[in-house]
Amino acid sequence: MAQKRIEFILQELDEKGSVRVADLSKQLKCSEVTIRNDIQKLEEKGLLFRTHGGATKLGAQVTVAFNAGNVYKCADKKQRIAEKAYEYIENRDTIILDDGSISYYLAKCIKENTSKHLVVITNSLVAAGILADLKHVDLYLLGGQVGGKLAATMGDVTIRNLEECHADKAFISAYGINFDVGITSIDSPQMQVKKAILKAANKIFLLVDSSKFGGGYVLAVCPLSSISRIITDDEIEKDYIDMAKRDHVELDIV
């Protein structure tokens, strides 16, 4: 229930720009104390600003992140996954962030932790908006046509840019994970960019919530042997944990 409240609060912020505790309490049929606690937790994670009696959405520099509801979906899980991913980033690393929604949360982690100086390459306008003008980040935004649910560059120009890049680590998302075929996708410009990212980085970290495991697929992006580590949440089914052990897939559960 807590997760549904959080998603509702964030969606209301996206649509209205601000929310009031009293209104949310009535809409969600819970106490104002509960709503205030939810808002406090969301502010601590950098997802909103608290105001007297309510909250407002973040500034224009990251508004583009909230043009699609999947940023809100499983926000707490994505935050935990991003925090774990950040632990694998070392000072002076060059990293690539793709246009997945978890990249938004990882970009926030990078922004809030100034002890590591990083070079960040990304096609995500969302991530770029968060990381721009930070003293501890050298930011490179890949060129290309802008599109996608979460605004990002893609297409031939983006791929050519990536061919000229080399990174220590890349942090990517996936449409799905199938232990028989690997990372799966629907045919899209984003998939082609993802393949180029795989070639550009020494280590690939796959950041996915537990709902991505299993199911059907259209195309295979790469085998799981191409992935250095998968980071997911603690609602992953035991069968998939067993498959990861069977296939010697490094798996972090948070």
Q: Where in the chain is the domain with CATH 1.10.10.10?
A: 2-58
Place of tokens 């007297």: 52
- The 10s digit of each residue's pLDDT in 171-184 is 999 989 999 899 98
| Residue 170 confidence class, pLDDT cut points 50, 70, 90 | very high
Q: What one-character DSSP code corresponds to residue 1?
A: -
Note the pLDDT tens digit of each residue in 87-100. 999 999 999 999 99
Could you give the residue range(s) of every CATH 3.40.50.1360 domain in the chain?
A: 70-253
Q: Which residue has the tokens 């980071």?
A: 231
Looking at the domain covering 2-58, what would its CATH class be? mainly alpha
Dump pLDDT digits (tens) for 204-252: 999 999 999 987 677 888 999 999 999 999 999 999 999 999 999 999 9
What number is the average pLDDT over the span 113-142?
94
Instruction: Report yes or no: 65 and 116 within 8 Å, Cβ to Cβ.
Output: no
Q: What's the CA dihedral at 165, 171, 173, 177 to 10 degrees?
A: 110
Asked whether the predicted pLDDT for residue 112 surpasses 50, the reply is yes
The pLDDT score that the predictor gives to residue 71 is 67
β-strands 94-97, 167-172 pairing? parallel
- Provide the pLDDT for residue 115: 94
Query: Which amino acid makes up residue 159?
Result: I
39-98 confidence digits (pLDDT tens): 988 877 767 777 778 887 765 444 444 444 566 677 889 999 999 999 999 999 999 999
pLDDT at 64: 45
Give the per-residue pLDDT at 72: 65
Beta-carbon count within 10 A of 6 CB: 20
**pLDDT given at position 63:** 45
pLDDT, tens digit (0-9, with 9 covering 90-100), for 187-211: 678 889 999 999 999 999 999 999 9
Residue 247 structure tokens:
């296939």
CA distance 125 to 142: 9
**What would the two tokens of residue 15 be?**
């649509």
The confidence score (pLDDT) of residue 218 equals: 74
Determine the pLDDT at residue 62. Answer: 44
Parallel/antiparallel/unpaired status of strands 152-154 and 182-185: unpaired
Tell me whether residue 17 is exposed, middle or buried, using C-beta atoms within 10 angstroms of its C-beta: 0 to 12, 13 to 18, 19 or more.
Answer: exposed
What is the pLDDT confidence band of residue 14, given thresholds at 50, 70 and 90? confident
Tell me, which fold does domain 70-253 have in CATH? Rossmann fold (3.40.50)
CA neighbor of 208 nearest in space, from 249, 172, 168, 245: 172
pLDDT score, position 70: 64
